[in-house]
């Protein structure tokens, strides 16, 4: 009976550990970013013609591993902040499920190096996009700007558009105007996503002295900047229509979701409560998902 109990405990421990190493990669973030890459791969394939299955598989694995690896390294860097914030203190490192914390760093670097090997097999430009994502998110955002400047999301957010750019380059081997506009759309989406969250968790960010814009300035001023980025984001979603060969599915989705994003952002600007900011935050991910889904549906049709 004691042996059986020990075996069950060991199995439970292995399962818990495995889940912790998955959780430290922030899988929900990875899924959304990889989805933007898959969408641009499909759009690029519709333009350039059939793509070998191996190339698509290697590209998908590469961008998935790169996003997961960058997130794990970022969690290691931010372990002290995560331990002090209510929102993040249950993450695997502060919760003690990955101990010592440096294991998360090794795990993240292993995932990222694996992504580079696959990325190089795809093509050099796609490989460069993977490097750009790591440098932008970990180097510029996590290590340099996050704790120092309210510009952290603006400058560090450029890495968020690279999975979409990677998807295009993985198929075509070159950079064009359309994928640049799509990548810019994601970059402009990030401030809305992060600042609305920071308004809701303003005290949390203030406690650890992370200078998110809503923490270091009046909420109304932060919302003014947020509204400007949303307007630009919606404009770019329409520019994308004119830059590519789209049907009505993408245009209708861009207009409807864009009006919803603008309307909700204006409402939060007029009624700047934490609850309303939370609603805006929860809307932001479905907005991006629907927009990229409409791209995929459009090329299918």
Average pLDDT over residues 283-297: 98
Instruction: Answer whether residue 9 shows pLDDT above 70.
Output: no
Q: What angle do CA 77, 82, 87 make, to 5 degrees?
A: 145
**Predicted local confidence at residue 50, as pLDDT:** 87
Per-residue tokens: 105: 């760093």
- Are residues 266 and 183 both part of a single domain? yes
Element (H, E) at 186: helix 177-200
Task: Classify residue 4: in a domain, yes or no.
Answer: no
Task: Classify residue 192: in a domain, yes or no.
Answer: yes
- Lowest-confidence region among 11-25, 96-110, 217-231, 265-279: 11-25
pLDDT tens-digit series, residues 87-116: 999 999 999 999 999 999 999 999 999 999
pLDDT tens-digit series, residues 167-203: 999 999 999 999 999 999 999 999 999 999 999 999 9
Task: Classify residue 120: in a domain, yes or no.
Answer: yes
- Are residues 36 and 170 both part of a single domain? yes
Mean pLDDT over the full length of the chain:
94
Boundary residue ending a domain (147, 174, 201):
174
Boundary residue ending a domain (121, 146, 174):
174
Query: Structure pTM?
Result: 0.93
Whether omega before 100 lies within 30 degrees of 0, making that bond cis, reads: yes
Task: Classify residue 124: in a domain, yes or no.
Answer: yes
Task: Classify residue 103: in a domain, yes or no.
Answer: yes
pLDDT tens-digit series, residues 124-179: 999 999 999 999 999 999 999 999 999 999 998 999 999 999 999 999 999 999 99
- Are residues 30 and 170 both part of a single domain? yes
> Percent of the chain having pLDDT more than 90?
91
Task: Classify residue 270: in a domain, yes or no.
Answer: yes
**Confidence tier at 11 by pLDDT (50, 70, 90):** very low
Q: Quick one: which of 195, 169, 188 has its CA closest to 272?
A: 195
- Are residues 19 and 150 both part of a single domain? yes
Domain ranges, residue 267: 176-301
Task: Classify residue 3: in a domain, yes or no.
Answer: no
- Are residues 118 and 234 both part of a single domain? no
- Are residues 291 and 197 both part of a single domain? yes
- Are residues 184 and 170 both part of a single domain? no
DSSP conformation class of 138: I
CA atoms within 13 A on the CB side of 91: 26
Task: Classify residue 301: in a domain, yes or no.
Answer: yes
Number of H helices, E strands in the chain: 14, 0
> Percent of the chain having pLDDT more than 70?
96
- Are residues 189 and 147 both part of a single domain? no
Boundary residue ending a domain (142, 174, 206):
174
């Amino acid at each position: 009976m004691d042996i059986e109990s020990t075996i069950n405990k060991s199995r439970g421990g292995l399962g818990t550990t495995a889940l912790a190493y998955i959780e430290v990669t922030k899988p929900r973030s990875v899924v959304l970013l990889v989805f933007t890459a898959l969408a641009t791969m499909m759009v690029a394939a519709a333009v350039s013609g059939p793509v070998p299955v191996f190339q698509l598989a290697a590209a998908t694995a590469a961008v998935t591993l790169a996003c997961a690896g960058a997130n794990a390294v970022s969690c290691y860097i931010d372990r002290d902040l995560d331990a002090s914030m209510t929102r993040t203190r249950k993450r695997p490192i502060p919760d003690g499920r990955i101990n010592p914390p440096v294991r998360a760093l090794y795990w993240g670097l292993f995932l990222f190096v694996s992504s580079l090997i696959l990325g190089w097999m795809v093509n050099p430009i796609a490989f460069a996009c993977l490097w750009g994502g790591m440098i932008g998110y970990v180097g510029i955002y996590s290590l340099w700007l996050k704790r120092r400047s309210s510009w952290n999301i603006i400058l560090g957010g450029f890495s968020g558009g690279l999975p979409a750019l990677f998807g295009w380059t993985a198929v075509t081997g070159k950079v064009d105007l359309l994928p640049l506009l799509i990548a810019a759309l994601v970059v402009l989406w990030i401030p809305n996503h992060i600042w609305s969250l920071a308004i809701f968790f303003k005290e949390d960010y203030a406690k650890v002295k992370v200078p998110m814009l809503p923490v270091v300035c009046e909420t109304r001023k932060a919302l003014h900047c947020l509204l400007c980025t949303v307007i630009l984001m919606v404009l770019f979603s329409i520019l994308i229509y004119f830059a590519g060969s789209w049907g009505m599915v993408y245009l209708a989705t861009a207009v409807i979701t864009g009006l919803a994003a603008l309307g909700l952002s204006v409402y939060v600007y007029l009624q700047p409560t934490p609850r309303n900011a939370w609603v805006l935050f929860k809307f932001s991910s479905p907005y991006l998902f629907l927009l990229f889904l409409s791209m995929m549906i459009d090329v299918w049709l």
